[in-house]
């Protein structure tokens, strides 16, 4: 098993074949939230910086939260069904570690300032080198870290608002092979990578209807990661030195530009305190994936054989429902449980092995345990199961089966 | 110097073009659930035929890498037959590619610094690209062996090698004190002790006429063989192999399945050329109508210097460079006639086969090549085609398959054997031949 652990929290974010969310979004941002399957827009904690910036307006004093999420995706593909002798292939096993840091600081006059550093977009897919789908994808990775300074304000006793700016740095890499055609009769291995910045904002509000019920609404803007990088090409050395030289001229290392569209995320939620021990929460989440039309690497140098790389994506907006509950078992212990469902972002005819997306169900359990000195430890386990997905992708149809167990641990402190 | 530009077949767009192509129309190799676990027991294997059996490729029977990928050798490997002997040769073949401005002898496909491709094909003496390393005196006929003789006709295969060799020097590769007085057919029948034979003869009985531009033997070309003699010779062969347990016979592809015939018209058409000047056998200038007459691949270098560099054609093409409509029709009729007679002769012999003799299988290469010309063949996720130089299936002479093309031939033979004899021989993985250069 190939284990990819990213150690340094700040330079970080190894990403996962996206788990809780469709496409390549990562919604695992707080163990307390994930215990209730991510239904958290109506909650209040430092990690509200991600879910709903209004959620920090209700906090008193200083609040810090440090999280780590461990994702272990596995995908089996039976296909490509348009070729003889197809069988079931397994994606390389990888373990992804997604960190998050959140800090909220109450100021005077109902104002709260916060800062979040987290990864909410990412993707990591590796198939065996030279596998049957080598011309679709061998390896793809998107790693992005977002810094999100946030302001929260208590407008009235029962109405909180919040807003933030987000700065995201992302790094994309992609490897795949291409057949040269009969004149050279060889595979060309293309490695492309690029990095760049994206800027956006987030807004939110929370309204307490009464002491038991809170409504929430938040919006995280879509962002476009505009980056630069390099593409390199390699192939087994050809016997004929003239052919070898010609391919070298046709496939020079080249600079490239790339754009990756990340969706806006709308959350509408409610929380209701059923009794002093039990809180129920629910979120409706809309992700505007339709903005992501293609993955486009624009090569600075093009030749007769080397053309820009365009991969059609044509994602569709997704809706998700998240439901969960928190039970204060005793003064020190909280138990959590949750369920969610989300639609797929990728159309049947465009599902391919770089992102075997599908509609998904998730079941979570979690626990919070209060320690001395206003400290809290939160853990959760979430099992995400994607419905078997039959792809009709023209050049590579097949059936994908994916499951993603996720473990998370968080430490938070108020002072 | 300008060259005949091949932008329309350039590889542009092959790279990073996702999901294009109509997969449904592409014939695929059957999916065998239970691949052969060990050698298929067909006993000793002998292959008899012409250049297509010998492993001729890119204008020569000389490159050891090419001989390695002859269809009988690939078939032998798929069947688990070890130590399949082939004549050891040295030499090259046509050069595949070179960079513009630095031509090498007999190069075919050029790319300039921008990657634009062009063709420069000169008629060559294939013997010049051929070196016989193992002379006939040392040859062992008893081992499983490839008996292919490039250039030989079916009628020639009934003649003693001593009579064939002056016309076809390649026959010398199989001549020693024992074999010289035997015909190719009798040599196989009497010396090979074969339990399994692949028989692919008859192509040159019409192809020699085609590649000579329809010039008859009296004018230095080659005639189409007489159909009655053809039937007699085919029966002679099957009679000679009457006790052989397993026989697979391959028939003759259409002449419009080979790029040597079809490719130049396509190039000229893309340049807007619809008519050229030619000469008949008497030396009279005659029009060449590209809607019905075929300019042969061998004319391209002449046309490049004359038509393209001058801007207009000054010198009419000689008759050896053009297969006119009536000659093409005669050749096509001969292919159909010969194939009918091959099928009838096999049927006739199959009624007499008994005991442990499996029925003779006929591999319909004619319809298979037509289908492949139409739709290509899939290898991995790619479609290999018969397009000259870039399609992957034909070698640079435009007549003979490439290593990949010979694998496709072997797979068609395997498919026929599996269906006809109820076997489960695993086909050759075409993708495993990626990296095998089509030229020298």
Q: Which pLDDT score, from 0 to 100, does residue B128 have?
A: 65
Q: What is the pLDDT of residue A350?
A: 94
pLDDT (tens digit per residue) in A125-180: 999 988 999 999 999 999 999 999 999 999 999 999 999 999 999 999 999 998 88
Q: Which helix (H) or strand (E) holds B5?
A: strand B4-5
Three-state secondary-structure class, residue B176: coil
CATH superfamily, with its number, for domain B39-93+124-263+324-433: SGNH hydrolase (3.40.50.1110)
Q: What is the DSSP letter of B191?
A: H
Using the predicted structure, report yes or no on whether residue B140 has a pLDDT greater than 60: yes
Task: Please give the pLDDT value at position A207.
Answer: 98
**Residue A296, class by beta-carbon neighbours within 10 Å (0-12 exposed, 13-18 middle, 19+ buried)?**
middle
Closest CA to B95 of B421, B328, B371, B395: B395
B-proximal residues of A, 99-128, CB under 8 Å: none
Contact A198, A147 (CB under 8 A): no
User: Is residue A2 within 8 angstroms of chain B, CB to CB?
Assistant: no
- CB within 8 Å: B11 and A183: yes
CA distances from A271 to A44, A176, A267 (A): 11, 46, 13
Task: Tell me which chain B residues have a C-beta less than 8 angstroms from the C-beta of A236.
Answer: 435
CB contact under 8 Å between B380 and A307, yes or no, is: no
Backbone angles phi, psi at B216, to 5 degrees: -70, 165
- Nearest Cβ partner of A182 from B15, B28, B438? B438
Mean pLDDT of A346-372: 94
Separation in Å, CA A374 to CA A334, B100, B120: 15, 77, 83
What whole-number distance in Å separates Cα of residue B367 and Cα of residue B257? Answer: 10
Q: Higher pLDDT residue, B353 or A399?
A: A399
Report the alpha-carbon angle B103-B108-B112, nearest 5: 55
| Residues in chain B within 8 Å Cβ distance of A83 | 28, 378, 380-381
Strand partners, A271: A214, A281
Half-sphere exposure of A236 (CA within 13 A, CB side): 12
| Residue A8 confidence (pLDDT) | 28
How many Å apart are CA B75 and CA B410, to the nearest integer?
5
A241 inside 8 A of chain B by CB: no
Measured in angstroms, the CA of B78 and the nearest CA of chain A are apart by: 16
Q: Do B393 and A236 touch (CB under 8 A)?
A: no
Using CA coordinates, name the residue in chain B closest to A176. Answer: B16
* Mean of the per-residue pLDDT values of chain B: 83
Rg of chain A over Cα atoms, rounded to whole angstroms, equals: 23
Preceding peptide of A80 cis, ω within 30° = yes
Contact assessment for residue A35 and residue A326, using Cβ atoms and an 8 Å cutoff:
yes
* CA atoms of A38 and A380, how far apart (whole Å): 11
Is a pLDDT exceeding 60 seen at residue B35?
no
Averaged pLDDT, B147-169: 95
Q: What is the secondary structure of B50-91 as a DSSP string?
A: SHHHHT-BTTBS--HHHHHT-HHHHHHHHHT----B---EEE
Asked if the Cβ–Cβ distance from A394 to B19 is below 8 Å, we say: yes
DSSP letters spanning B409-421: HHHHHHHHHHHHH
Q: Residue B119: phi, psi to the nearest 5?
A: -115, 140
**CATH number of A31-414: 3.40.50.880, 2.60.220.10, 2.40.160.60, 1.10.10.60?**
2.40.160.60
Task: Tell how far CA B6 is from the center of its chain.
Answer: 24
pLDDT at residue B99 in the model: 47
Structure confidence by residue, pLDDT tens digits, B396-422: 889 999 999 999 999 999 999 999 999
Q: Give pLDDT, residue B111.
A: 55
Cβ contact B438–A242 (<8 Å):
no
At B126 the pLDDT is 66
CB atoms under 10 Å from CB of A330, counted, come to 9
Q: Rounded to 10 degrees, what is the CA torsion of A402, A404, A405, A408?
A: 180
Token pair of B384, please?
């290999």
Selected for mutation to probe chain A from B6, B9, B18 (highest A CB count within 10 Å) is B18
In the block, residue with structure tokens 């007699």: B232
Closest-CA residue of chain B to A394:
B19
Coil, helix or strand for B290? coil
pLDDT exceeds 70 at position B138: no
Instruction: Judge whether residue A316 has pLDDT over 90.
Output: yes
What separation in angstroms does the CA of A290 have from each of A264, A286, A346, B185? 10, 11, 10, 69
Kindly state the tokens that stand for A400. Answer: 């994908």
Res A45 pLDDT > 90: yes
Q: What percent of chain A has pLDDT over 90?
A: 78
Query: How near does any CA of chain A get to the CA of B208, in Å?
Result: 27
Cβ separation of A306 and B15 shorter than 8 Å? yes
Q: Is the pLDDT of residue B72 over 90?
A: yes
Q: CB distance from A396 to chain B under 8 Å?
A: yes
Of the candidates A179, A306, A393, the beta carbon closest to that of B19 is on: A393
Whole-angstrom Cα distance, residue A304 to residue B100? 15
pLDDT for the residue numbered B14: 29
| Closest CB to B434 among A80, A83, A179 | A179
Q: Is A81 on the interface with B (CB under 8 A)?
A: no
Restricting to A residues 51-80, those with a Cβ less than 8 Å away from any Cβ of B are 80
CB–CB of B392 and A396 under 8 A? no
pLDDT at A200: 98
Q: Mean pLDDT across the stretch A376-382?
A: 97
| Three-class SS state of B279 | strand
Cβ contacts (< 8 Å) between A135 and chain B: which residues?
380-382
The top-scoring range by mean pLDDT among B13-27, B78-92, B237-251 is B237-251
pLDDT of residue B101: 42
Q: Closest Cα partner for A355 from A94, A53, A127? A: A127
- Tell me which chain A residues have a C-beta less than 8 angstroms from the C-beta of B377: none
B226/B334 Cα distance (integer angstroms): 9
Nearest CA of chain A to the CA of B390: how many Å?
4
Q: What are phi and psi of A134, to 5 degrees?
A: -55, -30
**Chain segment B191-218, per-residue pLDDT in tens:** 999 999 999 999 999 999 999 999 999 9
B280 close to B317: Cβ distance less than 8 angstroms: no
pLDDT at A29 over 90: yes
Give SS3 for B341: helix
Element (H, E) at B439: none
Q: Which residues of B touch A242 (CB under 8 A)?
A: 95, 97-99, 104
> At B370, which helix (H) or strand (E)?
helix B365-375
Task: Encode chain A in three state secondary structure.
Answer: CCCCCCCCCCCCCCCCCCCCCCCCECCCCCHHHHHCCCCCCCCCCCCHHHHCHHHHCCCCCEEEEEEEEEECCEEEEEECCCCCCCEEEECCCCCEEEEEEEEEEECCCCEEEEEEEECCEEEEEECCCCCCCCCCCCEEEEEEEEEEEEEEEEEECCEEEEEEEEEEEEEEEEEEEEECCCCCCCEEEEEEEEEEEEEEEEEEEEEECCCCEEEEEEEECCEEEEEEEEEEEECCCCCCHHHHHHHHHHCCCEEEEEEEEECCEEEEEEEEEEECCEEEEEEEEEECHHHCCEEEEEECCCCCCCCCEEEECCCCCEEEEEEEEEEEEECCEEEEEEEEEECCCCCHHHCCCCCCCCCEEEEEEEEEEEECCCEEEEEEEEEEEECCEEECCCCCCEEEEEEEEEEEEEEEEEC
CB contact under 8 A, B11 and A304: yes
Q: Which of B19, B393, B437 sits opposite A240 (nearest CB)?
A: B437
Give residue B62's pLDDT band: very low, low, confident or very high (50, 70, 90). confident
Both structure tokens of B297: 């691949």
**H-helix or E-strand spanning residue B126:** none
Chain B residue with the nearest C-alpha to that of A298: B16
Q: Do A185 and B99 touch (CB under 8 A)?
A: no
Residue with tokens 């809309």, as numbered in its chain: A286
pLDDT at residue B246 tops 70? yes
Average pLDDT value over all residues in chain A: 91
- What is the pLDDT at residue B172? 86
Q: How confident is the model at residue B359 (pLDDT cuts 50, 70, 90)?
A: very high
Which two structure tokens, joined as six digits, stand for A154? 């208590």
> By the 8 A CB rule, do B404 and A182 touch?
yes
- Terminal alpha carbon distance of chain B: 24
Distance (Å, rounded) from C-alpha B368 to C-alpha B365?
5
Compute the average pLDDT of residues A97-104: 95
**HSE-up (13 A, CA, CB side) for residue B185:** 23
A43 Cβ under 8 Å from any chain B Cβ? no
CA distances from A120 to A18, A29, A165 (A): 9, 8, 14
Task: Report the residue of A79, A133, A185 to disrupt the B interface, i.e. the one with the largest count of B CBs within 10 Å.
Answer: A185
Residue B278 DSSP SS3: strand
| Strand, coil or helix: B287 | strand
Q: What ranges do the domains of chain B cover?
A: 39-93+124-263+324-433
Distance CA A391, CA B437 (A): 35
CB atoms A249 and B115 under 8 Å: yes
Contacts of residue B41, defined as CB under 8 A and 6 or more positions apart, other chains included, come to: none
Establish, for the pair of chains A and B, how many residue pairs have beta carbons separated by less than 8 Å: 140
Residues of B in Cβ contact (< 8 Å) with A86: 31
Q: Are A303 and B95 in contact (CB < 8 Å)?
A: no
CB of A276 within 8 Å of a chain B CB? The answer is no
Substitution target from B65, B95, B381 for chain A, most A beta carbons within 10 A: B381
Coil/strand/helix, residue B183: strand
Contact B18 A310 (CB under 8 A): yes
Report, as an integer, the average pLDDT of B55-69: 84
State the DSSP H helix or E strand holding residue B315, giving kind and residue range, or none if neither.
none
Cα Rg of chain B (Å, integer): 22
Ranges of each domain in chain A? 31-414
Q: Which of residues 85-114 of B touch A (CB under 8 A)?
A: 95-99, 104, 109, 111, 113-114
């Amino acid at each position: 098993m190939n284990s990819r652990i990213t150690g340094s929290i700040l330079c970080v974010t190894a990403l996962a074949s996206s788990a809780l969310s469709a496409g390549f979004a990562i919604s695992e941002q707080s163990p307390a939230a994930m215990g209730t399957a991510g239904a958290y827009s109506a909650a209040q904690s430092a990690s509200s910086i991600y879910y709903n910036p209004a959620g920090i307006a209700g906090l008193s004093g200083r609040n810090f939260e440090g999280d780590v999420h461990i994702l272990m995706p596995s995908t089996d593909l039976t296909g490509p069904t348009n070729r003889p002798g197809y069988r079931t292939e397994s994606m390389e096993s990888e373990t992804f570690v997604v960190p998050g840091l959140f800090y909220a600081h109450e100021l005077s006059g109902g104002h709260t300032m916060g800062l979040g550093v987290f990864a909410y977009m990412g993707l990591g897919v590796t198939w065996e080198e030279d596998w049957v789908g080598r011309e679709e994808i061998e390896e793809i990775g998107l790693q992005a870290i977002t810094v999100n300074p946030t302001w929260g304000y208590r407008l009235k006793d029962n109405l909180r608002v919040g807003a933030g700016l987000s700065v995201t740095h992302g790094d994309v890499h992609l490897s795949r092979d291409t057949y040269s055609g009969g004149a050279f009769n060889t595979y060309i291995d293309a490695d492309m990578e690029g990095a760049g910045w994206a800027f956006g904002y987030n807004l939110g509000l929370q309204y307490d209807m009464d002491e038991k019920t809170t409504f929430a609404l938040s919006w995280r803007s879509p962002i476009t990661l505009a980056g630069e990088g390099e593409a390199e090409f390699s192939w087994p050395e050809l016997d004929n030195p003239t052919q070898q030289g010609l391919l070298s001229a046709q496939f020079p290392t080249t600079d490239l530009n790339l754009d990756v569209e990340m969706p806006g995320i709308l959350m509408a939620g409610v929380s209701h305190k059923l009794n002093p021990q039990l809180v129920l929460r629910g979120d409706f989440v809309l992700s505007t994936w339709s903005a992501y039309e293609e993955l486009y690497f624009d090569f600075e140098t093009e030749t007769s054989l080397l053309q820009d790389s365009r991969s059609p994506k044509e994602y569709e907006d997704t809706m998700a429902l998240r439901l969960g509950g928190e039970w204060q078992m005793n003064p020190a212990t909280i138990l959590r449980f949750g369920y969610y469902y989300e639609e797929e972002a990728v159309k049947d005819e465009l599902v391919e092995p770089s992102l075997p997306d599908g509609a998904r169900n998730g079941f979570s359990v979690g626990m919070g345990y209060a320690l001395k000195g206003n400290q809290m430890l939160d853990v959760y386990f979430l099992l995400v199961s994607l419905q078997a997905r039959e792809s009709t992708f023209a050049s590579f149809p097949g059936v994908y089966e994916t499951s993603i167990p996720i473990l998370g641990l968080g430490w938070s402190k108020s002072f | 110097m300008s060259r005949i530009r091949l932008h329309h077949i350039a590889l542009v767009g092959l790279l990073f073009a996702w999901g294009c192509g109509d997969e449904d129309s592409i014939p695929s190799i059957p999916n065998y659930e239970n691949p052969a676990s060990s050698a298929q027991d067909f006993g000793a294997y002998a292959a008899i035929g012409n250049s297509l059996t010998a492993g001729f490729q890119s204008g020569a029977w000389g490159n050891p890498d090419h001989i390695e990928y002859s269809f009988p050798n690939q078939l032998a490997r798929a069947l688990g037959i070890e130590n399949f002997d082939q004549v050891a040769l040295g030499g090259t073949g046509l050069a595949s590619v070179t960079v513009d401005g630095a031509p090498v002898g007999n190069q075919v496909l050029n790319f300039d610094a921008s990657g634009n491709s062009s063709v420069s094909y000169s008629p060559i003496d294939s013997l010049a690209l051929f070196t016989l390393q193992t002379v006939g005196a040392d040859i062992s006929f008893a081992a499983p062996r490839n008996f292919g003789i490039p250039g030989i006709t079916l009628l020639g295969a009934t003649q003693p090698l001593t009579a064939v060799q002056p016309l076809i020097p390649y026959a010398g590769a199989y001549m020693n004190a024992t074999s010289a007085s035997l015909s190719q057919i009798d040599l196989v029948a009497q010396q090979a002790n074969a339990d399994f034979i692949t028989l692919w003869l008859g192509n040159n009985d019409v192809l020699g006429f085609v590649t000579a531009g329809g010039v008859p033997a009296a004018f230095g070309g080659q005639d189409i063989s007489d159909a009655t003699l053809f039937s007699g010779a085919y029966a002679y062969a099957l009679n000679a192999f009457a006790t052989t347990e397993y026989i697979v016979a391959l028939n003759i592809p259409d002449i419009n399945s080979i790029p040597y015939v079809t490719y130049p018209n396509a190039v000229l058409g893309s340049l807007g050329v619809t008519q050229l000047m030619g000469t008949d056998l008497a030396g009279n200038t005659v029009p060449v109508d590209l809607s019905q007459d075929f300019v042969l691949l061998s004319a391209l270098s002449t046309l490049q210097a004359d038509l393209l560099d001058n801007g207009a054609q000054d010198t009419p093409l000689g008759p050896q460079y053009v297969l006119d409509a009536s000659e093409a029709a005669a050749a096509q009729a001969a292919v159909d006639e010969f194939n009918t007679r091959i099928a009838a002769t096999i049927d006739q012999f199959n009624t007499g086969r008994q005991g442990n003799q499996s029925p003779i299988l006929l591999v319909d290469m004619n319809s298979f090549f037509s289908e492949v010309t139409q739709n290509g063949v899939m290898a991995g996720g790619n479609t290999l085609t018969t397009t000259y130089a870039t399609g992957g299936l034909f070698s640079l002479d435009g007549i003979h398959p490439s290593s990949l093309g010979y694998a496709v031939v072997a797979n068609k033979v395997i498919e026929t054997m599996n269906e006809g004899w109820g076997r489960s021989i695993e086909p050759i993985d075409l993708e495993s031949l990626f990296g095998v250069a089509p030229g020298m």
